[in-house]
Every structure is written in structure tokens, then in C-alpha cells.
Amino acid sequence: MGGKRVVVLGGGVGGVVAANRLRKALGKEHQVTVIDQTRTHSFAPSYLWLMVGQRKPEGISRDLGRLERKGIEFKQASVQRIDTGRSVVTTDKGEEPYDYLVVSLGARMAPEALPGFAAGARSFYTLEEAIRLRDALPQFQGGKVVLLVSSMPFKCPAAPYEAALLLDAYFRKRRIRDKVDFHVYTPETRPMTLAGPAVGAAVRDQLEQRGIHYHTETKAIGIAADKHTINFEKGDSVKYDLLVGIPPHACPEAVKASGLTNGGAWIPVEPRTLKTKHPRVWAIGDVTVIPLGDKFALPKAGVFAHAEAEVVAASIAHEITGRGHPEEFAGWGA
């Protein structure tokens, strides 16, 4: 049997873990390729600490070309289409055939989905935006700060609350906290809904103990950047001096155009195996949707992408080599 070609789309947490596990499990006759539109993998959980100057970009970033040292091929290219019928990925650099495919393209930041967000808000959900916010914060001398969760779902359920606490500490360190009127607005019914009411209450207490006002079930419908105003679905509006926002998230256009979402917002997968409806195609991480009952879905978080990547890598390696055994995703994360 000839060597197989495993292609991993995306060099984030899930993609890098999957590629590393596959390379260790497969012989040299099999090829493992990672495709990403950028050469840089940056550690997203550290963006919040970068935001307040406690991390540096070079300290949380690595060149994906380093994967070559491990025998993993890396190609910098933008995915345009996935043809599951022909088993080919089309990129802006050409076509990439595959025998096995792992889609780990993540969630796309879509600030355009909330009118005025790009002009009115700062964010920390990309490396570039976190740097912009870090550079802007020293100019802020006081006023009303709003941390806005613009829509659901969003990556990392804890991130808005960690950001609020870090910003509170930052303002205290600068001795301007008494000049800051700090508010958090979110569509959620409580912080980190799936963690349960006890965790939600504890997080809310942490905010309120620090004088951070917490507003639930508030859905923003637009931002008037020139007036420094957020408009909400229920007809009310709020003024701000500094707006820090979590932008709307969307599935990458190439994934939707390829029909992998089945007409929905994200790629549906079999919850235990992460298989899609297409043969030899798996999807992991933020690009997927895994329902948890009628109302909720598995949160989009790196810890889940990591665990899913290990399951998928083990399963693909088993299919190719016959060694080991398929694994199942249990849905646990912490």
C-alpha cells in the first residue's frame, strides 16, 4: 500500500496538535501537510495579557515553518474551496489533493456583522487588534468603559471576564480606577452559562466586588462610533468613552461555499468521532458545532480543539496503519 497524504487545514491549536500527533503515529512514507494563510501561530489565550502589556508578541508567536523540522510539510496559502467529491483543496497557490482531511480553520472574526463595530470598538481577539488596544490604553485617562460581548457564540467563554478583571487591575495600577465607570454588556443570561449557576455567580461576584457593573441579555444591534453610542435590541442605548468588544464570529467563507455546513452556520460533526458527512473528512475546533441538548452547543475553546485533535489523529492513524485504536471525544474541558 502506497503512502497516504493527510492534509490539515489551519495552523491554530487544533491543527498543530493534529499534525504533530499524526506525524508521530505515521511512518515516513505518509505525508502530513499543514496549510494556513499566515506563517505565524500565536497563542490566543495570551492576547488578553498582551492587551495590558504583560506579554510581548514575539513571546507568544512561532513560525509555522518550524513544523518542517518534525517532518511536517507547511504551506502558506489561503483556502478557497474544499471539493470533497474529488478529494482536493483549492487554495490561492493551487490545488492540494488529500487522502484524509482535517478541517481546523477556526472561526472568522466578522466585525462587519455588527454595524459600527470596526469603527467604534477595540478588540483583543486577534494578535493585531490586541496590539492596537495595548497601544491605545495608555492614552485613556478615565471615563465610561464598556466591555461588549456583541453576539453568540464567541470563542472562549471565560475571555470577556478575564479581560474585565485584567483591565480593572490595569486601571488600578495606573491609579485611575476611581475615574473609570466600568460596565460589561452581554447577550448571555449569566457568565459562562454552560459552567453552571455556581460558577456564573462566582464570576459575577468577582466583577461586582471590583465595581464592574454587569448587564445580561443585552443584544447590540449597532454602534454609532461618531456619537460613542451602542444601540441595543430592546430599544435602549448606552454611551461610552472606551469600547472594548468581542466581535461577531462567522464560519470561514471557503467552508460555507464548499457545502460543509449543510446550510447551517458551522460544520456539524459526529460528536464522538468528529467525522463530517463526507468520507475521510474530519472537522475540529471552532469551525464545528456539537449540540449539547436543545439549547446549547459545545463552547468554542482551545481546550476542546486540542482534545478533538488528539481523537482525530488517533483515528486517522488507525485507519491508515491498522495499529492502535480509534478514540472518542468525551467533551471534557477545563
pLDDT, residue 293, reads: 76
> What values do phi and psi take at 241, rounded to 5?
-105, -35
Residue 126 falls within a domain, yes or no?
Answer: yes
Q: Are residues 77 and 139 in the same domain?
A: no
Q: Are residues 159 and 32 in the same domain?
A: no
Dig out the grid coordinates for 167 from the structure. Answer: 483591565
Q: Are residues 93 and 207 in the same domain?
A: no
Residue 303 falls within a domain, yes or no?
Answer: yes
Residue 327 falls within a domain, yes or no?
Answer: no
> How many angstroms separate the CA atoms of 193 and 259, rounded?
30
CB 275 within 8 A of CB 269: yes
pLDDT tens-place string over residues 233-267: 999 999 999 999 999 999 999 999 999 999 999 99
Residue 83 falls within a domain, yes or no?
Answer: yes
Choosing from 197, 215, 247, the residue where a domain stops is 247
Decide if pLDDT at 162 tops 90: yes
When pLDDT is averaged across residues 141-150 and rounded to a whole number, the result is 98
Q: Are residues 122 and 68 in the same domain?
A: no
Residue 318's identity, in one-letter code, is H
Choosing from 247, 264, 282, the residue where a domain stops is 247
Decide if pLDDT at 205 tops 90: yes
When pLDDT is averaged across residues 130-136 and rounded to a whole number, the result is 98
The lowest-confidence range among 89-93, 226-230, 293-297, 300-304 is 293-297
pLDDT, residue 142, reads: 98
pLDDT tier, 150 (very low <50, low <70, confident <90, very high otherwise)? very high
> How many angstroms separate the CA atoms of 266 and 291, rounded?
11
> How many angstroms separate the CA atoms of 147 and 194, rounded?
21
Q: Are residues 144 and 74 in the same domain?
A: no
Secondary structure, 3-state, 216-245: CCCCEEEEEHHHCEEEECCCCEEECCEEEE
Angle between helices 197-209 and 159-173 (to 10 degrees): 20
How far is C-alpha 173 from the chain's CA centre? 29
CATH for 229: 3.50.50.60
Domain that holds residue 203: 111-247
Residue 328 falls within a domain, yes or no?
Answer: no
Counting the structural domains of the chain, the total is 2
Nearest by Cα to 93 from 115, 107, 74, 109:
74
Question: What are the angstrom distances between the C-alpha of 152 and each of 156, 246, 289, 330?
Answer: 11, 10, 13, 23
The per-residue b/e assignment along 63-75, b for 16 or more CB within 10 angstroms, e otherwise, is ebeebeeeebbbe
Nearest by Cα to 51 from 111, 132, 117:
132
Residue 309 falls within a domain, yes or no?
Answer: yes
pLDDT tier, 1 (very low <50, low <70, confident <90, very high otherwise)? low
Decide if pLDDT at 228 tops 70: yes
Query: What pTM value is reported for the model?
Result: 0.95
Q: Are residues 215 and 289 in the same domain?
A: no
When pLDDT is averaged across residues 159-176 and rounded to a whole number, the result is 98
Q: Are residues 121 and 53 in the same domain?
A: no
Q: Are residues 124 and 180 in the same domain?
A: yes
Dig out the grid coordinates for 104 from the structure. Answer: 481546523
Cβ neighbours of residue 216 closer than 8 Å, sequence gap 6 or more? 186, 187, 188, 189, 190
Dig out the grid coordinates for 179 from the structure. Answer: 475615574
pLDDT, residue 177, reads: 98
Q: Are residues 258 and 242 in the same domain?
A: no
Q: What is the mean pLDDT of the chain?
A: 96
Secondary structure, 3-state, the chain: CCCCEEEEECCCHHHHHHHHHHHHHCCCCCEEEEEECCCEEECHHHHHHHHCCCCCHHHCEEEHHHHHHHCCEEEECCEEEEECCCCEEEECCEEEECCEEEECCCCEECHHHCCCHHHHCECCCCHHHHHHHHHHHHHCCCEEEEEEECCCCCECCCHHHHHHHHHHHHHHHCCCHHHEEEEEECCCCCCCHHHCHHHHHHHHHHHHHCCCEEECCCCEEEEEHHHCEEEECCCCEEECCEEEEECCEECCHHHHHCCCCCCCCCEECCCCCCECCCCCEEECHHHEECEECCCEECCECHHHHHHHHHHHHHHHHHHHHCCCCCCCCCCCCC
pLDDT, residue 187, reads: 97
Q: Are residues 116 and 226 in the same domain?
A: yes
Q: Are residues 38 and 102 in the same domain?
A: yes
